[in-house]
Structure 1
Amino acid sequence: MQFRKVAAFVVAPVIALSALAGCGPDQEGTQPSSSAAANGEFPSEWSEEITIDVFAGLANAMGEQPGWFAKIVKDKFNMKLNIIAPNVAGGGDTLYNTRVAAGDLGDLIVTDKGKKLDELVDGGLLLDVSEYYPAMSNAAKYDEAITRLNEGKDGTYAFPTQVSSLKATDPSEGIDPTFGPFVRWDYYAELGYPEVGTLEDLLPVLKQMQDAHPTAENGKKVYGLSLFKDWDGNMMNNAKQPTTFYGYDEVGMVLAKADGSDYQSIIDDDSQYVRSLKFFYEANQMGLLDPESTTQNYDTLFSKYQNGQVLFSWWPWQGQSAFNTTENMAAGEGFMLAPVEDLKVFSYGAEPFGGKQVLAVGSEAEDPERVAAFIDWLYSPEGTYSNNSQTMGAAGPKGLTWDLNDEGKPELTEFGMKALAGGGADVPAEWGGGTYQDGASWLNTTLVLPIDTDPETGAAFSYKMWETFQEATSNPLYEDWSAKMGDAPTTMDYLRDNDKLMVAPGASFTAPADSSEIETLRNQVKAIIVQESWKMSFASSEAEFDSLLAGMQETVKGLGYDKVLEVDMANAKAQNELREEAAARS
């Protein structure tokens, strides 16, 4: 699961798509009649430079891909990537529907599987790449997942992301879970490592930290919690995060426990979601909640973490990524998982058949064979190292950020340590120039799960799991944390060994698209839920909090909340059935 801003698209009506069926691969000039790929191999070189449009639903940058990733793609495919990012462009629904109506979504498309994929296939906007599949030797390693994704379709139209050779019951995240209560461990240590029984018990601990360190080095005020609105959807996103500490994840308006033992309506008085809102309310009453939470975006908040202005993080890839630099950790400073006694952290199981997003070739692609070759390369070890996002432990290109040591083990180079664990670095001109972070792949998706094993090295693709990296980055912060956590080498080891982890088997579930009625009702009720949730978080008194909650419940029920809940509850239970089937296969 990715956690940068993801737009929720509205697929253009089927009628509009069907009208475009004549624009598919049978149209003259769209697809070559023969190719080298049909004989089991792609061309060894591509003589003509092309620029392809990449409609990337998860991308957080727009325009021509720069830097070292662009250099690799140019050298291998003589190709440039023009990223079309609805997240950045704004009005994602409009951009998507406009391009669909024009019959050309892009040369390469990153979209959601399920109804959206089906409608794009039926509408003739995606190309059947069966002609090129014989040459896709890297993708063929995941043939079962690809075949399953294209079941019921007359051809091969889509390729799964996040495929894995791991069991569905194995965590997918590596050394850290996706979620967890991460605190400034050095400040926590100063307090003598106080016991924390529950989520609520964190508040007085955070208050003591804040009182001891009221301002950061930049002179700005320090807050225990700081929030943002960017990812709000069916609910206030930040209020969903604490529910994951107790095994829950969202399915529309439902919180579903990873083991299928509980399903909650988010607006119920005793729901984990309302518990989170009360947690925020109490934090604000104590002066712990950043008042700029209602206006700042994720990037602004990230900079606050970098500057040491926030004491708590919902995710390891937030607080740790921003603040746990080599220099800070060497000084014993940084974010680490807090030992909350009643934790049962939700973990996404590996998905042998792939995740929510898929890649596809557009029916109007200028050079579909080359796009297919590019997709195939993304499944290769080289492509996996190069394309995975840095937050998932992407090691980057061999020879620049990592290489094999004398013992044949993968190890970060001096440059790699600076770029990946030292706060960033400038890339040499011969590798594309610019900063390392700016040059990373803008696709913001991975075709192979990073914690899978590279057959060429015998180690995981993720550098964070390498023995050499863990040895090289041993520091006072990790050593102190490990000593207090039963000598656990990693966060995941601590959670697993202490029965504080709940894995939801990877089932590749995709909720069906809402009917037009449910979509309309959902849009109405979610707007109220999000709006009132923020008000409750900053309520002036307990009485006001209770009044806002009661008002929200009454309003959304009057707008048809129960109909939406019925749909989401059915989806949550269908998801669990697939999880049980996936677990049985493991």
Structure 2
Amino acid sequence: MKRRFKGQKMLLLMLVAIMLTVAGCGQKTEEPVKATPAGTAQGEGTKPAEPPVELTMSAPPFSQSFPPGFQDDPVMKEIEKKLNIKLNIIPANAVGDVSAKFAAQLASGDLPDIASIPSAEMYKKIISAKAALPLDDYLEKYGQHIVKEIPQRVEYSRKFMSTDVDGNNDGKLYILNTGGDSASDPLEVQAAPNLRYDLWKKLGFPKLETMDDYLPVLKQMMELEPVNSDGKKNYGVSGWFADSWGDWPFQTVFGMMEGKSFVRNWGVLDMESNELTPLLTDPDSYFWKGITWFNKAYRLGILDPDSFTMKWDNYLEKLNSNRNLLSWTANEGGTQAFIQGGTPEKGYFQMPAPNNLDKYIVSFAAPLGMYSFMISKNTKHPEKAVELLDFLLSYEGTRLIVNGVEGVHWDEVDGKPVFKQEVLDGLKNDTDYRIKSGLNKYNNLAGRGYDIVDPRFNIPLYFMFQPQYVKERMSAVQKEGVEHFGVELPGDLITKTKKYKYFDTSVAANYPPPTEDIKLIETKLANFIKTNQYKMIALKTEAEFTEQKAKFIAEVQKLGADQVYQWYKDEIAKAK
């Protein structure tokens, strides 16, 4: 899944000047040795500081878009200072078809020094092409954080991510994952309906007990506020269906609201039992509930028609300019736009879980990581590339990525980290603060989960999860909403009323590679789904939708969906 983790974090740089004096035994004290610009002492007989090594790195999409290239924010400058590396970074947001570009680079051998791998399907092709640098010989000197802090990821990668297309595995380490662990914000859960609370209030707080209840309410909201502050048309909900993960709302969000997740495209895994049930062929699965809901929104005229041609960046632009009345994650950019526009009474609130079940997935726990990286065998600087990956995968690296630079963004006070007031003000008042400061700008490069314990401070690695900051992050609208519902935090409407948990993806990740027969069926199914799932949303009548749904299910059964589902069901039972 593309975990789209929300952004309101911080980072910056710390400057330390060290002056060394040299005194001879029994002799006059000499003049202090001058320091180089990098802070390295330079005197007679010493070499000047080496110029920084330049590395190119492709990356997963970040929660805020920025142009590719060398970045000059304080966080990146701190990385350069610590590692003597200048990083030319290429976010997936700026690439277009990431999978196609990666496949072309792999075929030509023209990969960046460190490459983000867009899908697990590429692992075998990478190994067969011998495109990745074996990391084993570098770990002792340049990868001690990897060895000591994530040994389970190393073991898993060697066993499951080092196999070529013929099934051969040499047991070496080629691929490592950033992200993962767990990352649930105490303020709000990762995915739930985030609604324009002020408009809901104007309508007299109509009931919203099911997702279908939202549909007429969103229609009325569009009538209350048909355009945004720029005069552009508002819609109840939107999508980014043209992107590779455009099905996230109905493949992931609708499942999270039922305490379920999907395995590939074929099965539904319950968060408690880890039992697998069909995803595509069960007409009542959450996949079909999501598709049906979006079709109803389309027929009601509340689904943005641009959804079928938009990618994530286009969607995010509309979200941040307050043209969507409902989103699935926190609309921080839109909230800040309202505040800066002088209308702080407008804003969004994360609503209660819209179902009568007692289960809810608040976050995905991925102790094996989420975003895969490899180092190209053609890199001219393998040691520095390993050193950078090692730093990003460490507690220290994650601390820097998500919180900023000690002494610039935060200080240690009485043994605990405390953010500077200008950082808190910047996050609250400046929509571009994260881009300029670097604070959580590179969220998907962080090696560890945000809420695992930082061994230095014995608190969550993301300092904003400390109690004194959680309530401080609430907007005026959120404060009004929690008072209306009688809770302390918006997330309490789910975590205090439902049976909830982090969904551990380890079981689903530990089945063997599918057989060639299963892979062939999977490819045919994936192509069919990609071509047809969004067509279902654009059907104009309920009768037509019912007819096409039956044909869709019959076609995937004909293509072998039941056979693939049974294979995964059996293998996951063994993996448990």
Please indicate the TM-score interval, normalised by the length of the shorter structure.
0.7 to 0.9
2:247 is equivalent to residue 239 of structure 1: no
Which of the residues 354, 365, 369 maps onto 1:350?
365
Distance 1:398 1:230, change over 3 A: farther
Output the CA distance in 1 between the equivalents of 2:474 and 2:115. Answer: 41
Residue 369 of structure 1 and its aligned partner are, at CA, apart by 1.7
Q: 2:284 maps to what in 1? A: 270
Match of 2:365, SS?
coil
Preserved contact between residue 521 and residue 564 of structure 2 (Cα < 8 Å):
no
Q: 1:327 maps to what in 2? A: 339
Match of 2:460, SS?
coil
Q: CA-to-partner distance for each residue in 1:372-403, whole Å, 9 max, x for gaps?
A: 2222222344421333xxxxxx2222333333
Q: 2:384 maps to what in 1? A: 370
Distance 1:151 1:179, change over 3 A: same
2:149 is equivalent to residue 142 of structure 1: yes
Residue 217 of structure 1 and its aligned partner are, at CA, apart by 1.9
Preserved contact between residue 181 and residue 245 of structure 1 (Cα < 8 Å):
no
Distance 1:58 1:226, change over 3 A: closer
Preserved contact between residue 351 and residue 508 of structure 1 (Cα < 8 Å):
no
Q: CA-to-partner distance for each residue in 1:397-420, whole Å, 9 max, x for gaps?
A: 23333333x554433324422443
Gaps (5+ residues) in structure 2? 6-46, 160-169
Q: 1:179 maps to what in 2? A: 191
Q: 1:435 maps to what in 2? A: 436
2:135 is equivalent to residue 129 of structure 1: yes
Q: 1:16 maps to what in 2? A: none
Distance 1:254 1:262, change over 3 A: closer
More moved, 320-329 vs 130-139: 320-329
Output the CA distance in 2 between the equivalents of 1:415 and 1:498. Answer: 36
Match of 1:149, SS?
helix
AA aligned to 1:174 is: D
1:564-579 to structure 2, matched below 5 A, reads: 564-571=561-568, 574-575=571-572, 578=575
Residue 90 of structure 1 and its aligned partner are, at CA, apart by 4.4
Output the CA distance in 1 between the equivalents of 2:561 and 2:70. Answer: 40
Preserved contact between residue 229 and residue 236 of structure 1 (Cα < 8 Å):
yes
Output the CA distance in 1 between the equivalents of 2:48 and 2:171. Answer: 31
2:49 is equivalent to residue 81 of structure 1: no
Output the CA distance in 2 between the equivalents of 1:239 and 1:286. Answer: 18
2:105 is equivalent to residue 99 of structure 1: yes
Output the CA distance in 2 between the equivalents of 1:151 and 1:418. Answer: 45
AA aligned to 2:409 is: T
Preserved contact between residue 58 and residue 443 of structure 1 (Cα < 8 Å):
no
Residue 355 of structure 1 and its aligned partner are, at CA, apart by 1.9
AA aligned to 1:457 is: F
Figure out how many residues of one structure are paired with residues of the other and give that number.
513
Preserved contact between residue 208 and residue 214 of structure 2 (Cα < 8 Å):
yes
Q: CA-to-partner distance for each residue in 1:237-261, whole Å, 9 max, x for gaps?
A: 4432323311222221333332335
Preserved contact between residue 68 and residue 94 of structure 2 (Cα < 8 Å):
no
Match of 1:139, SS?
helix
Residue 229 of structure 1 and its aligned partner are, at CA, apart by 1.0
Distance 1:61 1:557, change over 3 A: farther
Q: 1:159 maps to what in 2? A: 176
Match of 1:435, SS?
helix
Distance 1:295 1:45, change over 3 A: farther
| TM superposition score normalised by structure 2 | 0.77
Residue 310 of structure 1 and its aligned partner are, at CA, apart by 1.1
AA aligned to 2:410 is: W
Preserved contact between residue 210 and residue 222 of structure 1 (Cα < 8 Å):
yes
AA aligned to 2:411 is: D
1:358-507 to structure 2, matched below 5 A, reads: 358-387=372-401, 394-404=402-412, 406-425=413-432, 435-436=436-437, 444-491=444-491, 493-507=492-506
Output the CA distance in 1 between the equivalents of 2:81 and 2:415. Answer: 27
Which of the residues 194, 208, 211 maps onto 2:223?
211
Match of 1:138, SS?
helix
Distance 1:112 1:321, change over 3 A: same
2:56 is equivalent to residue 53 of structure 1: yes
Q: CA-to-partner distance for each residue in 1:192-214, whole Å, 9 max, x for gaps?
A: 43332211122233233233222
Q: CA-to-partner distance for each residue in 1:536-575, whole Å, 9 max, x for gaps?
A: 32322222222322333344444x1xx2443245335644
Match of 2:212, SS?
coil
Preserved contact between residue 307 and residue 323 of structure 1 (Cα < 8 Å):
no
Preserved contact between residue 149 and residue 158 of structure 1 (Cα < 8 Å):
no
Q: 2:312 maps to what in 1? A: 298
Residue 312 of structure 1 and its aligned partner are, at CA, apart by 0.8
Gaps (5+ residues) in structure 1? 6-43, 165-170, 388-393, 428-433, 582-586
AA aligned to 1:452 is: I
Preserved contact between residue 56 and residue 109 of structure 1 (Cα < 8 Å):
yes
Preserved contact between residue 362 and residue 501 of structure 2 (Cα < 8 Å):
yes
| TM superposition score normalised by structure 1 | 0.76
Output the CA distance in 2 between the equivalents of 1:569 and 1:418. Answer: 53
Preserved contact between residue 128 and residue 157 of structure 1 (Cα < 8 Å):
yes
Distance 1:576 1:435, change over 3 A: farther
AA aligned to 2:57 is: V
Percent of residue pairs identical: 20
AA aligned to 1:422 is: N
